[in-house]
Amino acid sequence: MNSQLRREYLDALGLKSWALRGKPGLAGAPAQVTAAVVGVAAIAEPPMLGAATPMRDVSAAREAGAGWDELRARVAACTRCSLSSTRTQTVFGVGNPHADWLIVGEAPGAEEDRRGEPFVGRAGQLLNSMLHAIGLAREQVYIANVLKCRPPGNRDPNPTEAAECLPYLERQIALLKPKIMLAVGRIAAQNLLRTDKTLGALRNQVHRFGLSDVPLVVTYHPAYLLRTPTEKRKAWEDLKFARDVVSRV
Ligand code: URA
């Protein structure tokens, strides 16, 4: 990606000002990239946290053997929790089935419920810009949610809904074999990592997800960044951090 294009993407993220002034860049790197690299803490040897839990091993087996088409059909017909009675349709996930990156959000919102695709509203547009900022097109990654159905009024998923739905995501992960998972937002991160730690405490570390041991990095939800644009700089740090993790896999 050339520096002009990258500048446009960073502008879209509201990170125009995030360039080192009066300092030499890393060899061959645009100033913004240099700034981002310098800005990432603990990039050298990130600590590995988290481990597969016996509970997850059991739930991961539920959809074992299903291929993409079978899994999609099972999700579309799912009535395992009460969200099946309020959804317009299920939101399976979208993207490249050979993607290195799996982005995982919380649950479909109103627009996603209507269109059957994750992250298609305003938050989705910002997510696309965030991905572009690290040189990824939406079509290159895979995007899914912890829940396949919209909770009424966009309330948080409850533990039963998450427990019933996670095996679908786990099967998607087994089929996809991503190099990295990016959990966007506290709810996604807490459900994937089975923790009640704050998002701030979960950032800037490499966690591991499930039996497949996929590296998992946590960042802010784009909807939160729309409400709190001053945090975009930290999200940018997270994305650079994640990209560095991928380069090591
Ligand atoms: N927020 C999410 O977490 N997921 C979506 O698909 C849309 C908004």
Report mean pLDDT in 10-residue bins for the chain, 249 residues.
59 51 31 30 38 52 94 98 98 98 98 98 96 96 98 96 97 97 98 97 96 94 97 97 95
For residue 23, the model assigns a pLDDT of 30
Pocket test residue of 119, 138, 181 for ligand 1, highest count of atoms within 8 A of CB: 119
Give the tens place of pLDDT for each residue, 118-139: 999 999 999 999 999 999 999 9
Query: What radius of gyration do the chain's Cα atoms show?
Result: 18
Supply 97's token pair.
């089935």
**Per DSSP, which regions of 27-141 are E strands?**
48-49, 94-95, 101-105
237 lines ligand 1 (CB under 6 A): no
Give the tens place of pLDDT for each residue, 31-80: 333 333 222 233 333 444 444 444 455 566 899 999 999 999 999 999 99
Q: Write the single-letter amino acid at 122.
A: R
Backbone angles phi, psi at 143, to 5 degrees: -125, 130
105 lines ligand 1 (CB under 6 A): yes
pTM for this entry: 0.82
Looking from the CA of residue 187, the nearest atom of ligand 1 is: 3
Question: From CA 84, how far away is CA 240, in angstroms rounded?
Answer: 37
The region, left, alpha or beta by phi > 0 then psi within -120 to 50, assigned to residue 76 is: alpha
Listed in sequence order, the DSSP H helices in the chain are 3-12, 31-39, 54-60, 68-76, 110-115, 122-133, 159-176, 186-193, 199-202, 222-227, 232-248
Q: Which residues contact 135 (CB under 8 A, 6 or more apart)?
A: 1, 6, 243
For residue 4, the model assigns a pLDDT of 62
For residue 211, the model assigns a pLDDT of 82
Q: Which residues pair with 206 in a beta bridge?
A: 48
Share of the chain above pLDDT 70, in %: 76
Pocket test residue of 145, 156, 192 for ligand 1, highest count of atoms within 8 A of CB: 145
For residue 204, the model assigns a pLDDT of 97
For residue 2, the model assigns a pLDDT of 58
For residue 47, the model assigns a pLDDT of 41
For residue 249, the model assigns a pLDDT of 87
Q: Which residues contact 154 (CB under 8 A, 6 or more apart)?
A: 107, 109, 110
